[in-house]
Structure 1
Amino acid sequence: MTDTAAPSSLPDGQALAALVAGKLCHDFISPAGAISSGLDLLKDPTAQDMRDDAMGLIEASAKKMVALVAFARVAFGASTSAERFSGAELGELVAGLTEGGRATLDWRVEAGDYSKAQARALVNLAYLTMAALPSGGAAKISTERGEAMKIEGVAEGARARLKPEAVAGLSGRPLSEGLPGQWIQPYWLWLTAHDVGGTLEVQADEGRVTLTAHMPN
């Protein structure tokens, strides 16, 4: 699948912001709700025998929430004061978000600094590579510096696949059917690459999905 130009029917700035906000709310609601449930158990005098379970739930959910917020600040936000990011800290963001999943992460990102646009493309591409392995497998994320920076994610597993919504978003096409929450992050990755004059390519074969972004240095 080759990179395509965006049609005019794609969302404008306000609609795009609403879709990103909806995606973030969907991600945050699960750990936030789990923290609330854990606190309710702690306050329930009839459930004191579940105190340890409640504390474990709160601790795990708070860790997940922190990982989500840290990832979102780079993947979607522009408020972070950092203008450049190291490969190691970006790897920690992705690992923190995908920890406990069925797929394994092989982080082969070169050392050195990455611009804000490169960092945004890298973490989103890494996340979507992991997401292409719902039944488990191996995800390899790598970068290569040259005239342009090559960012590649390879997902290999028995059921490696991309949902139709993701295929549309990664191609810069509007969502025709399906769930907007599963379209917006792939489209955001495409938009991130195109906004700085880069490209995004997708190849999906049986048991293997490859995402490749070329970003200017």
Structure 2
Amino acid sequence: MTSPTDLASLLCSRLCHDMLSPVGALANGLELLAEEQDPEMREKVVELLEQSAKISTDKLKFFRLAFGAAGGFGEAVPVEEAHDVIAALASDAKEVKLNWAITEKTLPKPAVKVMLNLAHIALDALIRGGTMDIGAELHEGNVEIVVRANGNRIAFDENIGSALQGDLKPAELSSRTAAAHMIAMLAEENGGGLQYKLDENALVMGAVMPQPAGMIG
């Protein structure tokens, strides 16, 4: 059984790892800007600083919604908010096209957190670019979510797959698998479940999450 403290520590390690590159680029850019005198080169450095600042901001907004209490403490989260943070990360990635197929205005917060983390896993898998398709719908009292990554090469750690299905042993838990483990726990706590299918050029992940009684109209 993974302790909450261990899981929180691993999630923090993952967030720090993901933020290190853009924040480090900001620091390096500022050093270059202080030393560079050529106007054309200074302009290029400023452009790099702006790009790194955008990526840092996009990641922080995403992580706040995916792991934190963003969206308030109510049961539902606006789907537009989830779309915006996913679209921002997709635009920062290399040659990744996002296809969005969700018409609902809001979704339960646990389902949104699951969807965001599946999207993050999909983006990580598209190391050579490709397409990411995200769909969700309310059906017979459940929220059904599907995230598909399609590209020339899919990079996917099978331990992440084990974590998604709740089969990962505590000793195998790492900062790389912590988010998948977290949403598997979240799905189980809410009476739902996760699954995935992997082939050479596609990774498909799905989730079924019961809709909270208070949101069923």
Structure 2 length-normalised TM: 0.86
Q: 2:28 corresponds to which residue?
A: 37
Q: What is the Cα deviation at residue 80 of structure 1? A: 4.9
Which residue of 178, 197, 200 corresponds with 2:191?
197
% same residue: 29
Mapped to 1, the partners of 2:100 and 2:71 lie a distance apart of 23
Q: Unmatched 5+ residue regions in structure 1?
A: 1-7
Match of 1:59 in 2: 50
Aligned to 1:3: none
SS, match of residue 176 in structure 2: helix
Native 8 Å contact 1:105 1:130 kept in 2 = no
> Residue 197 of structure 1 contacts residue 215 of structure 1 at CA under 8 Å; is this kept in 2?
yes
1:1-217 to 2 correspondence within 5 Å?
8=1, 11-44=2-35, 50-78=41-69, 80-81=71-72, 83=74, 84-99=76-91, 100-146=93-139, 147-172=141-166, 173-174=168-169, 180-217=174-211
Extract structure 1 runs of 4+ deviating beyond 3 A: 45-49
Please tell me the residue identity of whatever aligns with 1:74: L
1:79 to partner: Cα distance: 5.4
Letter in 1 for 2:126: L
* 1:119–1:42 CA distance, 2 compared to 1 (3 A): same
Q: Is the partner of 2:177 in helix, strand or coil?
A: helix
Aligned AA (2:119):
A
Q: 1:83-139 CA deviation, whole Å, 9 max, x = no partner?
A: 332222211100111213233211112231112211111111122223222222222
Higher relative contact order (CA 8 A, sep 6+): 1
Q: Is the 8 A contact 2:36 2:42 kept in 1?
A: no
* Matched residue count: 207
User: Which moves more between the two structures, 168-177 or 114-123?
Assistant: 168-177
Q: CA deviation at 1:149?
A: 0.7
Superposed CA RMSD in Å reads 2.1
- Classify 1:110/1:136 alpha carbon distance in 2 versus 1 (closer, same or farther; 3 Å): same
Change (3 A) 1:158 1:43: closer
Query: Amino acid of the residue matched to residue 22 of structure 1?
Result: S
Give the match's secondary structure for 1:180: coil
